[in-house]
Amino acid sequence: MDLLGGLIQVPGFQKLWRRVPVGSVENKVRLGIYRYPHYAWAVYSAARQAKNLGLEAISVIEFGVAGGRGLVALEHAAREISPRFGVRIEVWGFDAEKGLPKPIDFRDLPHVWEQGDYQMDVAKLKARLSTAKLVLGDVSQTVIPFLEAGGFPPIGFVSFDLDYYSSTVAALQIFEGANATRLPRVCCYFDDMIWPEDACHNEFAGEFLAIREFNEQHDSKKLCKLNNLRWMMPYADAWQEEIYYLHDFSHPLYTKKLTPPEQLPL
């Protein structure tokens, strides 16, 4: 482990560094110095993939903006990471604005969340944003029109933070567009897989069920957990268990080689 990898194990070091976030983009991403380290890691990974594929721009999306802290952090990460790869990054936030809708049944975990939770102050949030765009309305009514309207770069990262099973199912329609609307591998973060403890997350409700059903319904597109991410990182954090990838096996760029071989000399 290098010096920075060792320092990150010191209690409070990450928090202190976030107050004075100096250093290279690579080190800040690798060591979790961004306000939302999972967003920064995902955007970095998506931009790197786009660069290796020869693409000029990508889109990154947050489903479930609520107060907007996450979207502000996503915009900040995109702004810093974009010049590192020379890839333009558009930021989008989808939200109902009025809080969560009424739960459909037990699959939406109504013992944890209820109608009206997580409302947005649109004017206050817009005052904090620079380039990110908001798509307001029930996600079941906004995703397909967004795809049909087009005009956005290929999607490289999506954060799903809609709490409900039903809303997550609706948001997953973002992957129903043509291949050109996304990268061959789209990094996904699912926020509601661990906490809160009282949720007792399981494969028959919530995001786990939405993912399982998506995979059952698609032959050439699969949502797969990114295995062993914890062991690729110099520190452990819960978000590393919530990173998935949408694999679009039929995408014309899926089999394009991304990196040169790292063969050691004899």
CA pair distance 146, 247, nearest whole angstrom:
21
Higher pLDDT, 8 or 101: 101
Average pLDDT, whole number, for the chain?
A: 93
Give me the pLDDT at residue 19, please.
58
Give me the pLDDT at residue 1, please.
46
Give me the pLDDT at residue 259, please.
83
Question: So where are the chain's domains?
Answer: 36-248
Would you call 1 exposed, middle or buried from its count of C-beta atoms within 10 A (0-12, 13-18, 19+)?
exposed
Q: Which of 20-24, 194-198, 210-214 has the highest mean pLDDT?
A: 210-214
Q: Which CATH class is domain 36-248?
A: alpha beta
Q: What is the mean pLDDT of residues 66-92?
A: 97
Indicate whether this model's pTM tops 0.85.
yes
Please, which residues bridge with residue 171 across strands?
none
* pLDDT of 16 over the 60 cut: no
* pLDDT of 6 over the 90 cut: no
Higher pLDDT, 262 or 77: 77
Give me the pLDDT at residue 125, please.
97
Give me the pLDDT at residue 204, please.
97
Give me the pLDDT at residue 178, please.
96
DSSP letters, the chain, are --HHHHHTTSTTHHHHHHHS--S-HHHHHHTT-SSSHHHHHHHHHHHHHHHHHT-SEEEEEEE--TTSHHHHHHHHHHHHHHHHHT-EEEEEEEE-SS------SGGG-TTT--TT-S---HHHHHHH-SS-EEEES-HHHHHHHHHHH--SPPEEEEEE---SHHHHHHHGGGGGS-GGGEEEEEEEEESSSS--GGG---TTSHHHHHHHHHHHH-SSEEEEE-TTHHHHSSS--GGGGSEEEEEETT-TTTTS--S---PPP-
pLDDT tens by residue, 126-178: 999 999 999 999 999 999 999 999 999 999 999 999 999 999 999 999 999 99
Give me the pLDDT at residue 23, please.
73
pLDDT tens by residue, 204-262: 999 999 999 999 999 999 999 999 999 988 888 999 999 999 999 999 999 999 987 87
Give me the pLDDT at residue 7, please.
58
Residue 227: both structure tokens together: 């295995």
* pLDDT of 10 over the 90 cut: no
* pLDDT of 195 over the 70 cut: yes
Give me the pLDDT at residue 236, please.
87
Give me the pLDDT at residue 234, please.
86
Give me the pLDDT at residue 24, please.
87
CA nearest 248: which of 185, 174, 154?
185
CA pair distance 85, 58, nearest whole angstrom:
11
Please, which residues bridge with residue 245 across strands?
187, 224
Task: Provide the percentage of residues in the chain whose pLDDT is more than 70.
Answer: 92
